[in-house]
Amino acid sequence: MAEDLTGRDDSLDTSLIARWRGGDERAATALVERHAHALGRYIASLGERDAADEVVQDTFVRAFGSLDTFRGESSLRTWLFTIARRLVVDRRRAARRRRDVGNLDDSDAATEYTALDGMIAGEAKKRVWAAVGKLSPTQREVFLLRVNEGLSYKEIADVAGTTEGAARVHYHNALRTVKENLND
């Protein structure tokens, strides 16, 4: 069984945040190590793989700049995902203004995923990316938050701005579609 225990211990996050507030800069490194890769995966799932590094950095800079406003009502990871999502939306808006085109939400993501097909080594992984790339943006986001990060439907609803019920439906529809696409 492949276990990924990084980043799912909320009490450890709370302790690291307290240490960082107390001036321990090593706690910042530990926090980044715990969540950076999950954030990168999530940002890639939103169709911003090429900018994942940059968005991850911006997310942490923004989060650490306002850690005092973090109440711990959600997990730190969920909060980071929410910030990252907002940054991706802002980037899309800025790109849309620059290019003066219509809504990029769907078309841009599809283009990104098509381009990614050629960048990922391994036939099986290519097929997975292609299968996931055929999902609608909302389905893909919900599906990957559940599969890659193990977020609950409540957490997914908080991050993606939807409801638990809708998240559950999106997940199961996406899973069915991916299985069908992989079996084609």
Distance in Å, CB of 32 to other proteins, minimum = 5
Which residues 6+ apart lie within 8 Å of 57 measured at CB? none
Is residue 125 at the binding interface for other proteins, with CB under 8 A as the rule?
yes
Interactions with other proteins, residue window 30-69 (CB under 8 A): 32-33, 36-37, 39-41, 43-45, 49, 52-53, 56-57, 60-61, 64-65, 67-68
Q: Does 146 bind other proteins (CB under 8 A)?
A: yes
Which part of the chain contacts other proteins (CB under 8 A), choosing from 29-37, 71-79, 101-109, 159-167?
29-37
Residue from 16, 76, 88, 144 binding other proteins (CB under 8 A): 144
- Closest by alpha carbon to 65, among 43, 91, 88, 87? 87
Chain centre distance of CA 20: 24
Six-digit token string for 77: 């990871």
Q: Which stretch binds other proteins (CB under 8 A): 75-83, 88-96, 126-134, 157-165?
A: 126-134
Are 176 and 145 a contacting pair, CB within 8 Å? Answer: no
Phi, psi of 144, rounded to the nearest 5 degrees: -75, -30
Contact yes or no for 140/130 (Cβ under 8 A): no
- Count of residues that bind other proteins according to CB under 8 A: 57
Cα-Cα-Cα-Cα torsion 81, 82, 85, 90, nearest 10 degrees, comes to -140
3-state secondary structure 43-57: HHHCCCCCCHHHHHH
CB of 45 to other proteins, least distance (A): 7
Binding footprint of other proteins on the chain (CB under 8 A): 1-5, 8, 20-25, 28-29, 32-33, 36-37, 39-41, 43-45, 49, 52-53, 56-57, 60-61, 64-65, 67-68, 116, 119-122, 124-125, 128-129, 132, 144, 146-150, 175-176, 178-179, 182-183
